[in-house]
Amino acid sequence: MKAPQLNELIRSRRSVFPAQFIPGKPVDKEIIEQVITNATWAPNHGQAEPWQFTVFSGKGLVKLSTFQSELYKQKAGEKFNPIKFEKLKNNPLLASHVIAIGMRRTTTKNIPEIEDIEAVACAVQNIYLTVSAYGLGGYWTTGGVTYYDEAKSFFGLNGPDKLLGFFYIGHVGIQPGAAKRSPLHEKVNWVDV
């Protein structure tokens, strides 16, 4: 791949949400394996590879749907929002695959927690770009049960590990709208003299 193609891939990548997927159309498992393999090629401090992925598809999506909607209902109390509940229940069923994104805390080396989290975020960008390169849609959500301690064990995480959200993947039915980014001068200080 030449630099202009990479620029195009990075700049045309968009979040595609479950309501924009073609429901009931699965993505080949081989592609999902490529997506996750690329995730594992992300930079990570100390070769710790601090990621843990749990991939839901088929009937697994029903398990995820039930788990996250019921846990939300249990925990929400007076703040219970029926629209949120329905989204947590329905969204997994609109996807082909949902990848739960876990950070497995590195305990054998002196690596600050934030660097394990940063490495996983790099892995998620690889997921975003690979999904986009295959012409598929997807997005990272940190909503729902992401930060509930009670959710962790369902995704094979415990102790100092952290659930960092979910990556939804599907075939694109409705193209996402145009996006914009602010100009460089608002975000960059050049120090060259």
Ligand X SMILES: Cc1cc2nc3c(=O)[nH]c(=O)nc-3n(C[C@H](O)[C@H](O)[C@H](O)COP(=O)(O)O)c2cc1C
Residue 76 vs 107, nearer CB to ligand X: 76
Exposure of 186 by Cβ count < 10 A (0-12 exposed, 13-18 middle, 19+ buried)? exposed
Residue 172 is given by DSSP the state: B
Per CB under 6 A, 148 contacts ligand X: no
Instruction: Specify the stretch interacting with ligand X by CB under 6 A; choose among 25-33, 53-61, 111-119, 137-145.
Output: 137-145
Tokens of 76: 């929400």
Binding mask 95-134 for ligand X (x = CB under 6 A): ----------------------------------------
- Residue whose token pair is 């054998």: 108
Q: Which of 6, 19, 62, 179 binds ligand X (CB under 6 A)?
A: 179
Q: Which of 141, 148, 154, 172 binds ligand X (CB under 6 A)?
A: 141
For the bound state, the minimum distance from the C-beta of residue 140 to ligand X, rounded and expressed in Å, comes to 5
Q: Taking a C-beta distance cutoff of 8 angstroms, is the pair 103, 159 a contact?
A: no
Q: Which of 47, 43, 21, 50 is nearest to 131 (CA)?
A: 21
Alpha-carbon distances, residue 30 vs 1, 36, 59, 66, 79 (angstroms): 21, 10, 18, 27, 41
Instruction: Specify the stretch interacting with ligand X by CB under 6 A; choose among 52-60, 81-89, 112-120, 138-146.
Output: 138-146
Q: Which of 14, 89, 162, 171 binds ligand X (CB under 6 A)?
A: 14
Which residues bind to ligand X, rule: CB under 6 A?
14-15, 139-143, 165, 179
